[in-house]
Amino acid sequence: MYKSPLKLLLLLLPALVVVPGCVRDTAVSALDSELERTLIRLSVNSSLDDYMLPDGSNLAGIPAGIGNPLTEEKIALGKMLFYETALGRDAINPNQLRTFSCSTCHVPEAAFTSGSAQGIADGGLGFGTFGSGRVMDQSYEENQIDAQGARPLSMLGVAYVTNSMWAGRFGSRGANAEVAEVWGVHDPATEINHLGLDGLESQNIEGTITHRMSTDAYLLDTLGYRRMFNRAFPEFEGDARYGRVAMSFALSAYIRTLLPSNAPWQQWLRGDKEALTDSQKNGAKLFFGKAGCYRCHNGPALNGNTFHSVGVNDLCDIPGGALRTSADDPRNFGRGDFTRRAEDMFKFKVPQVYNTKDMPFFFHGSSKTSLREVVEYFNAGIPENDRIPASNISDFFHPLNLTDTEVNDLTDFLAEGLYDADLQRFVPDTVLSGNCFPNNDAQSRADMGCE
């Protein structure tokens, strides 16, 4: 039956692990299959598919929002609007007119976060390297600037976010369906949930108001966006075709395509077992095993539509402080700010964890500045924020007793295994205004070498 000596050798391989040259291959494949079995066991449909991200161009494979089917025309429009500083026409001071965009606080090179501890759009100046150098414009009063009391969330994998923002306050489905009585009550903006849309689509209607953006004849006719809106929204009548719902639907359609599907982890899931190193595979084993990360970070985007406190500091706690926020900022309550229910206090939505290597700041309060620090924080399992009662901290947040090698492997998995090196494929070469983006103030233009 065993015709060739080679087949015989293969059959005996497991017994030959001590033979130099065979060691690596055998060990790798055992690690691969162990990891696959674990993932299948932890997945909803007993399949590796549950962890796979569709390609950003595979519109049929990407979760769409209620009432907002994904089309090439909407995505093309959203891809411009997200970076178009000409939308920033409701700036408070004339010197800031048309100088900021969504991407001011969601910079692709900073994993679509702000690149600084806190994002500032209207009322900020400069860009530095990937957003790290933006500061307050001294011609503004502090309470006039557009800055929030939490770090901007990433746009990666938001197609898998049911209730958006750290508090999950937007969207009519998911956890919010159970608390319809608080919509619009403590946070008037969340009245929008009554439209029955999903998180992104509802939030971005409000978002263009918060961030002082709107369309006008200059944008539509002089710059030529009217044609793009016409193609994207033929079913919208009259001025509604160029209004806030249309802007939100285009922006939401675009950000739904921001999927880090070229990350080595994704390649490994698709069958390229060489895409991850052994250290990264060991890190993945820890993520989905001993370190317990999967209990909150799961699914294709490794995020979660649940709310937990892992005891981290707030933005007001950063050295030097933050703008327009304080220890009393209700945003520090997390989901409790939206629901005001005791059990939701200090709990934050579980964020995605791709491309975090590019994030200069971690957690809602930007309290950590490296991935290793984040892993060490979870490993120690000691809350850093004394304002949070112990009873509100998650039971899953406790000392993990990982060894130094395990901390290294887990960090390596996060930093390299979950890193898509080609996010530029999602960024337009230019926007119709031809403006420098994401920012167009003089200091930013100088910082980015736009002139």
Query: Where on the chain is the footprint of ligand HEC (CB under 6 A)?
Result: 102, 104-106, 119-121, 146-148, 150, 152-154, 158, 161, 164-167, 200, 203-204, 207-208, 211, 213, 251, 255, 291-293, 295-297, 308, 310, 312, 331, 348, 350-351, 353, 356, 362-364, 374-375, 378, 394, 396-397, 410, 414
Buried b (16+ CB within 10 A) or exposed e, 52-87: ebbebeebeebebbeebebbebbbbbbbbbbbbbbb
Taking the complex as a whole, how short is the minimal distance between the CB of residue 435 and ligand HEC, in angstroms?
15
The smaller minimum CB distance to ligand HEC, of residues 132 and 394, is found at 394
What is the C-alpha end-to-end distance of the chain, expressed in Å? 74
Taking the complex as a whole, how short is the minimal distance between the CB of residue 5 and ligand HEC, in angstroms?
46
CA-wise closest residue to 257 among 84, 74, 119, 437: 74
Taking the complex as a whole, how short is the minimal distance between the CB of residue 147 and ligand HEC, in angstroms?
6
The smaller minimum CB distance to ligand HEC, of residues 245 and 293, is found at 293
Taking the complex as a whole, how short is the minimal distance between the CB of residue 24 and ligand HEC, in angstroms?
26
Taking the complex as a whole, how short is the minimal distance between the CB of residue 110 and ligand HEC, in angstroms?
11
- Interacting residues of 228 by C-beta distance below 8 A, sequence separation 6+: 73, 76, 77, 80
The smaller minimum CB distance to ligand HEC, of residues 120 and 182, is found at 120
Taking the complex as a whole, how short is the minimal distance between the CB of residue 268 and ligand HEC, in angstroms?
17
Cα 406 to its chain centre, rounded Å, is: 26
Taking the complex as a whole, how short is the minimal distance between the CB of residue 410 and ligand HEC, in angstroms?
6
Taking the complex as a whole, how short is the minimal distance between the CB of residue 295 and ligand HEC, in angstroms?
5
The smaller minimum CB distance to ligand HEC, of residues 147 and 275, is found at 147
Taking the complex as a whole, how short is the minimal distance between the CB of residue 352 and ligand HEC, in angstroms?
7
Is 288 within 8 Å of 34 (Cβ atoms)? no
The smaller minimum CB distance to ligand HEC, of residues 106 and 241, is found at 106
The smaller minimum CB distance to ligand HEC, of residues 35 and 353, is found at 353
Phi-psi region of 13 (alpha: psi -120 to 50; beta: other; left: phi over 0): alpha
Encoding tokens for residue 86? Answer: 């000409």
The smaller minimum CB distance to ligand HEC, of residues 22 and 330, is found at 330
Token pair 């994704």: residue: 266
Spatial separation of the C-alpha atoms in residues 56 and 108, rounded to whole Å: 15
435-164-316-393 Cα dihedral, nearest 10 degrees: -150
Spatial separation of the C-alpha atoms in residues 16 and 23, rounded to whole Å: 8
- 437 vs 135, 146, 230, 281, 347, CA distance in Å? 17, 18, 24, 38, 34
- 381 vs 95, 331, 362, 411, CA distance in Å? 47, 23, 16, 16
The smaller minimum CB distance to ligand HEC, of residues 59 and 291, is found at 291
Encoding tokens for residue 218? Answer: 């200059």
The smaller minimum CB distance to ligand HEC, of residues 241 and 256, is found at 256
CA-wise closest residue to 200 among 283, 238, 262, 256: 256
Encoding tokens for residue 87? Answer: 């939308």
Taking the complex as a whole, how short is the minimal distance between the CB of residue 211 and ligand HEC, in angstroms?
4
Spatial separation of the C-alpha atoms in residues 366 and 368, rounded to whole Å: 6
Spatial separation of the C-alpha atoms in residues 416 and 80, rounded to whole Å: 29
The smaller minimum CB distance to ligand HEC, of residues 171 and 223, is found at 171
Taking the complex as a whole, how short is the minimal distance between the CB of residue 313 and ligand HEC, in angstroms?
9
The smaller minimum CB distance to ligand HEC, of residues 26 and 210, is found at 210
Is 444 within 8 Å of 436 (Cβ atoms)? yes
Spatial separation of the C-alpha atoms in residues 425 and 305, rounded to whole Å: 27
Q: Residues for the chain: how many in total?
A: 451
